[in-house]
Structure 1
Amino acid sequence: MKNETKFQNRYRILSNRLSGWDYSNEGAYFLTLCTCHRECLFGEIINHDMVLNDYGAIVQREWIYSAQLRPEILLDSYVIMPNHFHTIVHVVSNQSGGCPDGLSGGLFGGTSRVETHGCASLQNPVFHQNPISQQQPISHPPLYRTPKSVSSLMAGFKSVVTKQINIIRGTPGKKVWQANYYDHIIRNDKEYERIADYIGMNPELWQSDSLR
C-alpha cells in the first residue's frame, strides 16, 4: 500500500505567489530574487555604489534582454545587489501600458524608469519603509506557469542566468538563485514611488539590509 504521508510535505517548495491571482494580469509588480544561500555573487558595494562583476553583468544583460523577448513586459526601476535583485515590472496587453481594475495610472510614475547600469537612479529618493515587509504571504504554487506572465518571465530569466554563470565558473547544475522569489502587486502611484525610491536607495542601505 502506498504511504501518502511518507514525506509529510518535507520536499514541497512553498510559493510566495498570491493565491488566486493571475500573474498574467496587467499591472505593476515589485519583485525580489535572492541568490542561493544569499551568496554574494554579483559584485560589491563600494562607496555606496554597486560595482558589478562578470556575473552581475550577466544578470544585467539578460534582464534587459528579457523585455526584448517579451512584448507584454515593460521593465522599470531595478537594482542588482551583491546577493539579490530588486525590480519593478509592468505586464501590459500592448505597449500602451494599460492597467487592470483596482490599479491606477497605467505605468506608475508616468514613464518607465528602466536603467542599464545595474542600479536605477532616482531624484531626491526618500525611504519610507521596507516594502519587502508587505510582500505576499506563502501559498501553494500552481502546477502550471501561465504564458506571458510574471512567473514565466522569472523562470526564463533565472534559468538563463544560472546556465551562463555556471558555464563561466565550471559548475554545471549548481544553483545560483533561491528556488522562490518574492512579489508584491503595486496598487497605486504612492506605493509605486515608495518602492521605486527603495530600489534606488538599496546600495546606500546595504550595511543594514535584511537580505545580507
Structure 2
Amino acid sequence: MLNYSLFSSSIHFLKVMGYRVSKRLTTRDYRQPGQYFVTICTYQRAHFFGRIREGEMALSPAGQVAWDYWHEIPQHHAMVRLGTFVVMPNHIHGLLEILDSNTARWGPKMRPMAEPDTVQFLSQISPKVGDLSLIIRGYKGAVTRTVREKGYDFAWQKSFHDHVLREGEAERIRNYIVNNPKNWEEDGFYTPDVGWDKEK
C-alpha cells in the first residue's frame, strides 16, 4: 500500500495528468494484455540515481543499474515489451506492455547480467508470465541487491504507481517521459539536490 504522506506531490502530479489516483484496482487482472505507465520512486525520494545537468540526466552508478536492469526485463519475461523509459534522480518512469500469447515472441536466451544471485531475482518469477506486480517486484529486488553491493545504502519506496493506458494517451505520456529531465524542477516528483549518493 502506498505511503500517501510521502507521495502527496506525486499524487497531485498524477491528478494533473488526468489519472485516477487510488489503491491498485482489485478488479483489474494485471496479467491481462495492455500498456502500463509505471513509476517507481526511491525511498523518501533520495537522489540515488544521478543529477540533472543542463536539462539532461547524468546517471550515477546506481542509476546505471536501474537503467540496465529495466532493459533486461524482456529477457526474463517474454510476454513483456518495453517502451519509452527514463531514469530520474529519485524515480524511474517507464512504459511497459504485456502482450497476449499470440503476439509475444520469445526473445534471446537469458544471459547473465551480473552475479547468479542477481539473475535469480529477475528469473525466479518468470514462470508466472505477465503479472505486472511480480515483474516490478523482481526488477526492484535485483536493482536493490546490486546497488547495495556497490556500497550504497539504497532502498525503493514501497510499492509503485501504475496507470493503464487508455486510447489516445500514449503519445502524451511518451512526451512527458522524454521531456522529464528538461522539466525536472516543475515535476511532481522534484526534490532539491541534497547529495544523491553516499558510498561506504
Q: Percent of pairs identical after alignment?
A: 32
- Whether 1:26 aligns to 2:36 is no
Return the match for 1:177 from 139, 142, 156: 156
For residues 87 and 165 of structure 2, what CA distance do their matches in structure 1 show?
Answer: 20
Return the match for 1:157 from 95, 118, 139: 139
For residues 102 and 45 of structure 2, what CA distance do their matches in structure 1 show?
Answer: 35
Q: Deviations over 1:22-70 (max 9, x none)?
A: 0000000001000000000001111100111110110111111111111
Aligned CA distance change for structure 1 residues 91 and 164 (closer, same or farther; 3 Å): same
Give 1 or 2 for the bigger CA radius of gyration. 1
For residues 160 and 43 of structure 2, what CA distance do their matches in structure 1 show?
Answer: 11
For residues 96 and 206 of structure 1, what CA distance do their matches in structure 2 show?
Answer: 36
For residues 56 and 152 of structure 2, what CA distance do their matches in structure 1 show?
Answer: 29
Instruction: Give the CA deviation at 1:95.
Output: 6.7
Instruction: Give the CA deviation at 1:18.
Output: 1.5
Instruction: Provide structure 1 residue ranges, at least 5 long, that are not aligned to the other structure.
Output: 1-12, 98-145
- Whether 1:210 aligns to 2:188 is yes
- Contact 1:16 1:180 (8 Å CA) reproduced: no
Aligned CA distance change for structure 1 residues 95 and 32 (closer, same or farther; 3 Å): farther
- Contact 1:71 1:95 (8 Å CA) reproduced: no
- Whether 1:92 aligns to 2:99 is yes
TM-score w.r.t. structure 1 length?
0.66
TM-score w.r.t. structure 2 length?
0.70
Aligned CA distance change for structure 1 residues 65 and 202 (closer, same or farther; 3 Å): same
Q: Deviations over 1:54-113 (max 9, x none)?
A: 10110111111111111011000010000000000000124736xxxxxxxxxxxxxxxx
- Contact 1:71 1:94 (8 Å CA) reproduced: no
SS in 2 for 1:76: strand
- Whether 1:62 aligns to 2:69 is yes
Instruction: Give the CA deviation at 1:176.
Output: 1.5
SS in 1 for 2:182: helix
**Which residue is equivalent to 1:200?**
178
**Which residue is equivalent to 1:125?**
none
SS in 2 for 1:18: coil
SS in 2 for 1:29: strand
For residues 25 and 62 of structure 1, what CA distance do their matches in structure 2 show?
Answer: 23
How many residues are aligned here?
A: 148
For residues 183 and 35 of structure 1, what CA distance do their matches in structure 2 show?
Answer: 15
For residues 23 and 49 of structure 2, what CA distance do their matches in structure 1 show?
Answer: 24
Instruction: Give the CA deviation at 1:170.
Output: 5.8
Name the aligned partner's letter for residue 147 of structure 1. Answer: K
